[in-house]
Amino acid sequence: MSDDQESDRSVVVPNFHGRQALDAWLSGHDAGLLLQGPDPDGPHPLLHGIVVAQRPVAGTRLGRWDTVTVWVRDAGEPAGVREPRRPRPDRLPAVKAIEPESAGDE
């Protein structure tokens, strides 16, 4: 096989570190690579989180459609901020309902 044919079938691994997992997966696919988590048979797909490590490292030359393993860290709760309020708000004392004065009490 000539060097030209070999270079057509190989891909330089991009740096996925710090990217959203789905974005990394899509750009890896565009480059001709398959991304997977460290446990490809695990229950969670590689869609959520931030890429914190990859193997092989960026700059490595792989064959087209070879696999790159990435580790992701959870990006946090997607439903919003769930922090306790500190200090807690003051409780208001219970107030008795004010009865309207009746017009016929005179």
Confidence (pLDDT) at 58: 96
Assigned domain for 33 exists: yes
Assigned domain for 101 exists: no
46 against 65, higher pLDDT? 65
Assigned domain for 26 exists: yes
Assigned domain for 102 exists: no
- Domain harbouring 53, CATH code: 3.30.10.20
Contacts 24+ apart (CB under 8 A), 24-30: 24/51, 24/70, 28/68
**pLDDT tens for each residue of 5-27:** 555 689 999 999 999 999 999 99
Does the pLDDT value for residue 30 go beyond 90?
yes
Assigned domain for 37 exists: yes
Structural domain of 53: 3-73
Domains held by the chain: number = 1
Confidence (pLDDT) at 50: 92
Q: How far is CA 62 from CA 19, 21, 54, 66, in A?
A: 20, 20, 14, 6
Mean of pLDDT values over 47-55? 91
What's the pTM?
Answer: 0.63
